[in-house]
Structure 1
Amino acid sequence: MTSEVREQAARAVACVLPDRANDLARLQILVSDGEPVVTVIGKYNHGKSSLLNALIGRDAFAVSDKRETVTMSDSVHLGVRWLDAPGLDADVGNEDDRQALQAAWLKSDIRLFVHAAKEGELDSAELALLADLHADGKRTERQTLFVLSQVDQLGDESEIHKVGSAIGEQMPGIVLNAASSTRHRKGVEGGKQLLLEKSGIPALHTALHSVLGRVPQARVHETALLFREIRADLRQLSAAQHDSLEGLRRTQQQQLHDFAQGLKAVIAKVGGDIAAMLSALGEDYAAVPDTAKDAYAITAGKVERAHIQIAYSRACIEMDGFLAGHGVIGLPAEQQTVARSLNSVMIAVMGVSVKFRKDLHKMFCEAAGRERMQREFTHYYELSDDRQALAEQIAQTQAAIVASDSALTAMHTLEASA
């Protein structure tokens, strides 16, 4: 399987689980099965580059009194990739910290945590990082070796012991690997075996050889761990999404049921009131047209038409109160007109006025009229902002479930390449 396919699969999972992006990046490194990686990390000017050069036996990494390591440097030696990360806290913008931590967490199988002996005990940032590395080691089986560097800059063994004791109190159980790259170089150049031994580099080589032998097993453990954890996260997320979708759909159905029942009850009530009013009326004066001489006179027809309009308005007001309580007020944008007073659901469904008994009866007292109101008000209810927002939430949750399913498939792709 190509690295491009693995990267695509990892991106599909990271889109769903962004908090697992670093773990997915680590998985890609693990499944690529490259050389074991040893990284030196620590603060600026603590002798990390010199230590690496001593360990691999050649000047592969730049060494200077001024800041030299500004980006990640690496060298392959005897089947091991050695990484020299920028010093922690060397860069005000924290770019160096980011690269150093990337090397520590993403790329490394073994971490050499370097602390200069002349600095004395660890500071709070070093303590926090060591604690995190220790916790990660227990979880992933990756190893961290603590190197007390530049011990030649202390006066004698008692000072080294004093510094070691102080660090031991800060980090109980820590194993100190005292080392001096300067002594090692002098020992090599002068052919002085005792100086070489006193440098601590041979002992550190032995410790490194031991932990390098455990890298394959640790990688198998870490790979299985990350796959297991990420699969569990995806399944948990998918289950939560399905529960959420089910809950949203229940809410959607319950809201529609409550609206439909409530609207039916309101229509039945106002329809009953209209029916009672109409049955109490006598002769249908409203149906008799006014003559020209009645233009400015009060007639029985005008009085009845006004009475009918008032009954209609009261019915509309009662229904409008119910609709407003469910967010059914304004028309969708595509139905609105320049006359704002007409852009209401009540106007769209009921019209502006009713003047005759037969129209009022047809609208409120006949089954077809009531069904029309029920149907059209329900239509606008589904177009209301709250219902549209709920529908969008359901659609987003459905899309998220599809993405989670795709992520699970991508995980199978990644596992197939492991």
Structure 2
Amino acid sequence: MSNDIRERATGDVVSVLPARADDLTRLRTLLENSEPIVTVIGKYNHGKSRLLNELIGRDIFAVADKRETVALSDSVHEGVRWLDAPGLDADVGTEDDRHALHAAWLKSDIRLFVHAAKEGELDAKELALLAELDEDGGRTRRSTLFVLSQIDQLADDTELEKVSRRIDTQWPGVVLHAVSATRHRKGAEEGKKLLLEKSGVPSLRVELGAALARVPAARAHETALLFAEIRKELVELLAVQQESRDGLSQTQNQQRLEFDAGLQTVIGKVSVDIEAMLDALGTDHAIIPDTAKDAYAITAGKLERAHIQIAYSRACIAIDSFLAGHGVIGLPAEQETVARALNSVMVAVMGVSVKFRKDLRRMFCEPSGRERMQRDFSHYYELSADRKALAARIAAGESAVIACENALSALRALEHTG
């Protein structure tokens, strides 16, 4: 799998599990099957860069009495990639700190935690980082070696023992690798084997060699662990998302069934009442047009039409009350007119008034009329704010399910490259 494809696959998973971004970055490092990576971390001016130079046997990393390393520096030597991380300042959250932690967590297979002997006991920040490294080591099997550096700056071995006891009190059982890069350099330049041994660097190299031998197994364990954890989280998340989406869809269907049944009942009831009223009427006076002389008179036709309008209004009130209970009131914005009084679902479906028996009978007493009302009101029900919001939630839920399924597929693709 090419880096571009691997990056896209990683992005698919991160889009669903953003909190796993660092783990996925670590996975990519593991899948690249690069050389083992050793990272030196600790506070600045504690001799990290000088220590790396002595371990490698070449002056590769910059050394100074001031804060020199401000970004990740690396070098490959004899099949090992060495990283010199910026020092951990007292200022929490600085860019340099982020570089150092990035190296410690995402890049390295082995961490060399360096603490200057002259500083005495560990500070709170160092203790916190050690605790995190220790916990991570138990989980991923990555090694952390504690290096007590610059021991040549102590007065004597008694002072070294005192510092070691203080650190052991803070971190019981810690294995300290006491070293002096200065002694090692002097011993190498002057050919003094005793000084070389007393520098602690040779014994640290032995421990480092043993840790490097464990890297392949540790990487295999960590790779399997991360895949298993992320896969489990995705599967659980997918189940939750599917359940949520299905629950919303069930609610949507149940609401529609209840609406259709309730609307049919209301329309059926008002239709029965109207049909009974119409059947009880005698001569149809409403169809007889009024003459000019009847303009201000009360005629049988006017009384008939008023009677029909009242029956129609009562039917509309009953239906409108049902619709309002389901949030079906105003028209969608795209259907609204400048006349606000006309911007209601009742007006859109039923019209403003009915004057004649045939119209009332056609609307309420004929199956086609009742079916039209059922269909049109159901249409506006689906366009109501609550239903549209529910549909949007279902669509979002479906998108989340698809994204999670894609993430699982991407994770499988990544796993097959391992």
Q: Pairwise mapping of residues 208-287 of structure 1 onto structure 2 (< 5 A)?
A: 208-287=208-287
User: What does residue 323 of structure 1 align with?
Assistant: 323
Report percent identity of matched pairs.
69
Q: Distance in 1 between matches of 2:347 and 2:218?
A: 73
- Deviation of residue 92 (structure 1)? 7.0
Q: CA deviation at 1:90?
A: 6.4
Shift of 1:377: 0.6
- Deviation of the 1:280 alpha carbon: 4.1
Identify the residue that residue 102 of structure 1 maps to in structure 2: 102
1:105-164: CA deviation from partner (whole Å, max 9, x where unpaired): 111000011122222222222222211111111111110111122222222223322322
Distance 1:283 1:89, change over 3 A: farther
Do 1:286 and 1:305's aligned partners in 2 also have CA atoms closer than 8 Å? yes
Pair 169,311 (structure 1): closer, same or farther in 2 beyond 3 Å: farther
Matched with 1:125 is 125
Change in 2 beyond 3 A, CA 1:125/1:304: farther
Q: Specify the alignment match of 2:13 in structure 1.
A: 13
Please name the residue that 1:397 is paired with: 397
Contact 1:184 1:199 in 2 (8 A): yes
Deviation at 1:198, TM superposition (A): 2.0
In structure 2, C-alpha distance between the alignment counterparts of 1:304 and 1:129, rounded to whole Å: 91
Who is 2:289 aligned against? 289
Give runs of aligned pairs for residues 356-375 of structure 1, distance below 5 A.
356-375=356-375
Residues of 2 paired with 1:117 and 1:277: CA distance? 104
8 Å contact from structure 1 (residues 90, 96) kept in 2: no
CA deviation digits over 1:232-276, x for unaligned, max 9? 222222222222222122111101111111111211222233234
Q: For this pair of structures, how many residues does the alignment match?
A: 418
Cα distance in 2 for partners of 1:305, 1:122 equals: 97
Cα distance in 2, alignment partners of residues 68 and 193 from structure 1: 31
1:55-70 alignment to 2 at 5 Å?
55-70=55-70
Distance 1:93 1:405, change over 3 A: closer
In the TM superposition, residue 319 of structure 1 has moved relative to its aligned partner by 1.4
Question: Quick one: which amino acid aligns to residue 285 of structure 2?
Answer: Y
The match for 2:81 is 81
The one-letter amino acid of 2:376's match is E
Amino acid across the alignment from 2:307: H
Mean Cα deviation higher: 289-298 or 303-312: 303-312
**Native 8 Å contact 1:44 1:90 kept in 2:** no
User: How far apart are 1:171 and its partner, in Å?
Assistant: 1.9
State how far apart, in whole Å, the 1-side matches of 2:298 and 2:168 are.
Answer: 106
Any gaps of 5 or more consecutive residues in structure 1? Answer: none
One-letter amino acid matched to 1:379:
H
Distance (whole Å) between structure 2 residues aligned to residue 411 and residue 291 of structure 1: 84
Amino acid at match of 2:180: S
Match of 1:27 in 2: 27
CA RMSD in angstroms, aligned pairs only: 1.8
- Structure-2 separation of matches of 1:200 and 1:220: 31
Report the secondary structure of 1:287's partner residue. coil
TM-score, normalised by the number of residues in structure 1: 0.94
- Residue number in structure 2 paired with 1:194: 194
What is the distance in 2 between the residues matched to 1:51 and 1:169?
25
Supply the AA of the counterpart residue of 1:157. D
Bigger mean CA deviation after superposition, 281-290 or 254-263: 281-290
In 2, distance between residues paired with 1:315 and 1:163? Answer: 93
Unaligned runs of 5+ in 2: none
Change (3 A) 1:306 1:59: same
Counterpart of 2:340 in structure 1 is 340
SS of the residue corresponding to residue 113 of structure 2 reads strand
Amino acid of the structure 2 residue aligned with 1:324: A
| C-alpha displacement of 1:406 | 2.3
> Structure 1 residues 307 and 157, CA, compared in 2 at 3 Å: closer, same or farther?
farther
400-409 or 79-88, larger mean C-alpha shift: 400-409
Residue 93 of structure 1, CA deviation: 5.8
Query: Helix, strand or coil: the match of 2:286?
Result: helix
Q: 1:216 and 1:272 mapped to 2: Cα distance?
A: 83
Tell me which amino acid in the other structure corresponds to 1:17: L
Q: 1:382 and 2:408 equivalent?
A: no
Partner AA of 2:303 in structure 1 = V
* Structure 1 residues 132 and 320, CA gap change in structure 2 (3 angstroms): same
Aligned mates of 1:171, 1:156 — CA distance in 2: 23
- Aligned 8 A contact 1:327 1:384 in 2: yes
Q: Is the 8 A contact 1:43 1:87 kept in 2?
A: yes
Taking structure 1 as reference, are residues 93 and 145 closer, same or farther at Cα in structure 2, changes over 3 Å only? closer
Q: 1:313 to 1:203 in 2, by over 3 A?
A: same
| Paired residue secondary structure (2:39) | strand
User: Quick check: 1:111 aligned with 2:111?
Assistant: yes
Higher mean C-alpha displacement, 300-309 vs 277-286: 277-286
- Counterpart-to-counterpart distance in 2, 1:311 and 1:183: 108
How far, CA to CA, are the matches of 1:3 and 1:9 in structure 2?
Answer: 10
Q: What's the secondary structure of 1:290's corresponding residue?
A: coil
CA distance in 2, matches of 1:214, 1:89: 31
Instruction: In structure 1, give the amino acid aligned to 2:357.
Output: R
- Alpha-carbon distance in 1 for matches of 2:402, 2:279: 59
Instruction: Encode CA deviations 1:379-413: one digit per residue, 9 max, x unaligned.
Output: 11112222222222222222332222222222222
Deviation digits for residues 285-335 of structure 1 (CA, Å, limit 9, x no counterpart): 322211111212232322332232222222222211221221212222222
